[in-house]
Amino acid sequence: MIDIKIFNKSNLSRIPRKKIENAVKAGFIGEKCNEVEVRIIYDTDEAVHQLNREYLGHDYPTDVITFPLEERPLEGEIYISAETAARQAEEYEETLNEVLIRLAVHGALHLVGYDDDTDEKKSKMNTLETHYMTEENLQLNK
């Protein structure tokens, strides 16, 4: 069973919960992870910055942080900065919803073991993000 819970602690009035859930679920299924419990938390730059500093030793805000909690069944938390997502949407000329979904899928890929510490790995993750978003009939760049 794939259990996805989405929380909005950010300043956003709405987030595309169903699309996020569908895309993240497609990612887990595509990566052969059928027993998953994940919490996706959309929060502020300040809150995500604090987590980044406290747990990873990086004193700057970031877009997404993933915390694996258990391996079997797979359990984790994904924290996403809604403010950083808004800046990225403008920078990458995507809608805010597209970036919110992409970051959730990105966090899910980290949870199943993908890394983005090299250009090659970043490219692979980006390709997978787009694949799982497209698989759920999300219109990219529209």
97-107 residue pLDDT tens: 999 999 999 99
Query: In Å, how far are 19, 109, 121, 122 from 118, measured between CA atoms?
Result: 29, 15, 5, 6
Question: Domain 2-135 sits in which CATH superfamily?
Answer: Metalloproteases ("zincins"), catalytic domain (3.40.390.30)
Bridge partner residues of 53 (DSSP): none
Per residue in 68-125, pLDDT (tens digit) is: 999 889 999 999 999 999 999 999 999 999 999 999 999 999 999 999 999 999 999 9
Q: In the predicted model, what is the mean pLDDT of residues 50-77? A: 95
Q: In the prediction, which pLDDT does 136 show?
A: 52
- Where are the chain's structural domains? 2-135
